[in-house]
Amino acid sequence: MNLIFKHPWILLIAFTILNGLVLKSRSKKYIEANPELEKGYENYFKGWMFYGNIPWVIIMIGNLSGLTQNLFDYFNPKVMNPIVVTFHFSIIVLWVLSVRWIYFRNGAEFIEKHPGLFRISSLNGVSYATAKQVKLFFPLMILGGIIGMYFMWTMDFQIP
C-alpha cells in the first residue's frame, strides 16, 4: 500500500497506457471497416499517450526529486510547493487545450467520426458519442474538475 501512496505515478502512468491500448484495440475493427480513419486513430492514441501522462510525469518528478513526499501533497496546493503548483497548472493547460480542440478544432466531430473513442452505456446497450453530445457534456466534466480544484485551493487539507 505504501507504494501506491509513495509512488502513485507508477500506477497512474500504467493505467493511462493501459487505457490507450484498450482504445487502440477497440479501434482495429473500425479501421478494418474504414481504413482511411487509421491516421486519425493513430494521432489520437499518440496524443493520449503524450498529453494523458503529463500530470503523472510531473508527480514522478516531484516524487523522485524529493519535492513531494506522497500523493496527498497534491491535494494541498495552498502551501505553494512549486511542483504541486506545476501539477495544477498542467491540469488547467490540458483543460484549455481540450476546450480548444473540441470546440475550435473540430475535436467533437473527430470523436463522432472515429467510433469507439467515447462509448455510452445504457440499458439499450452501447452507443457512441455524437459531436453534439460531446459538446454538451464536456463542460460538465470540466465543471467537476473546477469544483475539485476550487476545494483543493480553498480548504485546509490535513496531510496524513
pLDDT for residue 126? 79
pLDDT for residue 70? 86
Who has greater pLDDT, 43 or 125? 43
pLDDT for residue 150? 96
pLDDT of 39 > 70? The answer is yes
Separation between Cα atoms, residue 115 and residue 131, nearest integer Å: 11
Secondary structure element (H or E) that encloses residue 6, with its range: helix 2-6
Q: What is the dihedral of CA 102, 96, 153, 10, to 10 degrees?
A: 80
Q: Which grid coordinates belong to 131?
A: 459531436
Delimit the domains of the chain by residue range.
2-154
- Note the pTM of the prediction, 2 decimals: 0.89
- The beta strand positions in the chain, using DSSP E, are 119-122, 125-128
Write out pLDDT tens, residues 134-154.
999 999 999 999 999 999 999
**Taking all residues of the chain, what is their mean pLDDT, rounded to a whole number?**
93
